[in-house]
């Protein structure tokens, strides 16, 4: 089951990267359109092909996102079924508000997605991790 969770997380990361690449590419492409005074924009065949590729990629990206949303409404790395079992919020990516995705808490860090401070030391789990400390107990994380 852990393998499935890592696949879902990998898909989410890949989708986010594709969206970023799409917008960067689109921005670059928009800057390359040639404008001639008193004439319509000239669009080359190459630019038309690039636009078709972008549209195809966007459709595929939307289809992938819809597939993920069917099983993970908030796209936090845990399926809605898993969230119901764990009693996390299926509509929030970070149920306890500690700065970590619910999926990361369960699958990666082994922290409690229902408690912002798993080890009870008055520092929230996300803050501890960002500063190199162990959110499961005393001390720093081992490198």
pLDDT tens, residue by residue, 80-96: 999 999 999 999 999 99
Are 11 and 53 within one domain?
yes
Are 66 and 121 within one domain?
no
**138 within some domain:** no
- Domain end, chosen from 48, 71, 94, is at 71
Are 16 and 33 within one domain?
yes
Cα–Cα distance measured from residue 123 to residue 135, given in angstroms and rounded to the nearest whole number:
8
Q: Quick one: pLDDT at residue 66?
A: 81
The domain of 126 spans: 80-130
126 vs 140, higher pLDDT? 126
**135 within some domain:** no
Are 65 and 10 within one domain?
yes
The beta strand positions in the chain, using DSSP E, are: none
Q: Quick one: pLDDT at residue 64?
A: 82
30 neighbors 51 (Cβ within 8 angstroms):
no
**48 within some domain:** yes
Are 117 and 98 within one domain?
yes
**139 within some domain:** no
104 neighbors 110 (Cβ within 8 angstroms):
no
pLDDT tens, residue by residue, 26-75: 776 555 555 555 455 677 888 889 999 999 999 888 888 888 778 888 88
Please tell me the total count of domains within the chain: 2
> Is the pLDDT confidence value at 1 over 90?
no
């Amino acid at each position: 089951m852990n393998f499935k969770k890592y696949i879902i997380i990998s898909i989410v990361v890949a989708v986010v990267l594709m969206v970023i690449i799409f917008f960067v590419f689109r921005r670059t492409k928009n800057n390359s359109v040639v404008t001639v005074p008193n004439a319509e924009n000239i669009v080359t065949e190459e630019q038309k092909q690039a636009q078709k590729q972008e549209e195809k990629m966007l459709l595929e990206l939307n289809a992938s996102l819809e597939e993920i949303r069917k099983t993970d409404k908030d796209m936090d790395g845990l399926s809605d079924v898993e969230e119901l079992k764990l009693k996390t919020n299926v509509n929030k990516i970070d149920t306890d508000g500690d700065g970590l995705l619910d999926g990361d808490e369960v699958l990666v860090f082994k922290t409690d997605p229902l408690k912002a401070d798993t080890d009870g030391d008055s520092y929230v789990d996300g803050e501890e991790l960002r500063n190199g400390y162990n959110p499961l107990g005393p001390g720093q994380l081992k490198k």
